[in-house]
Each structure stands twice: as C-alpha cells, then as structure tokens.
C-alpha cells in the first residue's frame, strides 16, 4: 500500500527557522520553491500566499531563494543562533 495524498508532518518544534517570509511583500510566485536545490519549500495551498517551509532542518543556507526573489525584503534568510558570528568596533579593543 503506497502512501496517498496526505502527508504527515511532525508537530515538533524545528531546531531552526531558516527562512522567514514577509507576508505583506511576498506575492506567492513560488520562484523560491523552484530554485531551492534541497527542495525544502512547498507552494502554499492558497494561491498568492507565501510558500511553506516544509523541511527547515534541511536548509543549506545558500541564499538562492533570496537571490531569485523578485521582491526585495520578501524573504529573509536567517542563521540559527549558534551560528551567528560576533563582531565588535575595532576602536573598542584599542581603548581597552
């Protein structure tokens, strides 16, 4: 018996939230869905709405979804907290 049209999705909290859509800006063109080589996005069942991030853990953080997006600011790629790098003003070190 092969699986049918329904797919199960775990309700567990994802470990990262790599792709954030701005609902005001996204026009639901799904270009990001089509460019993602890992195929982590699926089109929204409601036409014109932002795609759904079905497999956030599989994101490779390449940024091609943002590069392909026709609207500046509709998609934000975000590294998980443990991967966010720190920088400081050089001046603050020199004046120690």
Partner 1 sequence: MYQQDWPYPLEWDKEEVIQSEVLILGGGIAGCMAAIAAARQGLQVVLVEKGATKRSGAGGSGCDHWESAATNPCSKVTPEELAKAMLEDNDGFNNGISHYIECREGYDRLLDIEKLGGKIRDTEDAFKGAEFRDERTKLMFAYDYENKYTIRIWGSTFKPAMYNELKRLGVKIYDRIMITSLLTEDGKQGGRCVGATGIHTRTGKFYIFKSNASVMCMSRPARVWLFSAALPGLCEFRPTQCIGDGHAMGWRAGAEFTMMEKSVGAEFSASGKSYPPYGAGNNHNTWYAASLIDSNGKEVPYADRDGNILEGVSDRFKPAKGQRFFMKGGNIDNPKYAYEGPETLPLSKMVEEGYKLPFYADLSALPDHERKVIWGMMIGEEGKTKIPIYKNYKDAGFDPEKHVIQCYGRGWTSASFLPQERQLFGLPGGFLNDWSLSTNLAGLYVAGDSLFASNCFGHAATTGYYAGRHAAEFAQENGLMEIDLKQINNEKARVYAPLKNDPHNSIGWKELNMGIAKTMQNYCGEVKRNELLNIGLSLLKEYEETVIPNTFAYNPHELVRLLEVFDILTVSQIILQSCLARDTSSKPLCFHRGDSKETDIDKNNQFITVKQVDNQVHIGRLSLNYFGDLKENYEKNNKDYIGGGNYDAR
Torsions phi, psi for 12 (to 5 deg): -65, 145
Q: Using alpha carbons only, what angle is made at residue 63 by residues 39 and 38, rounded to the nearest 5 degrees?
A: 15
Q: Which of 17, 20, 27, 60 binds partner 1 (CB under 8 A)?
A: 60
Site for partner 1 in 36-55 (CB under 8 A): 36-40, 42-43, 45, 54-55
Q: Is 2 in the site for partner 1 (CB under 8 A)?
A: yes
Residue 52's closest CA among 61, 64, 43, 60? 43
Residues near partner 1, by CB under 8 A = 1-11, 14-16, 18, 34-40, 42-43, 45, 54-55, 57-64, 66-68, 77-80, 83, 85-91, 93-94, 96
């Amino acid at each position: 018996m092969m699986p049918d049209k329904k797919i199960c999705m775990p309700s567990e909290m994802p470990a990262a939230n790599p792709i954030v859509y701005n609902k005001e800006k996204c026009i639901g063109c799904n270009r990001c869905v089509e460019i993602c080589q890992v195929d982590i996005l699926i089109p929204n069942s409601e036409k014109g709405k932002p795609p759904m991030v079905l497999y956030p853990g599989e994101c490779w953080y390449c940024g091609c979804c943002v590069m392909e997006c026709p609207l500046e600011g509709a998609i934000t790629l975000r590294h998980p907290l443990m991967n966010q790098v720190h920088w400081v003003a050089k001046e603050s070190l020199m004046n120690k």
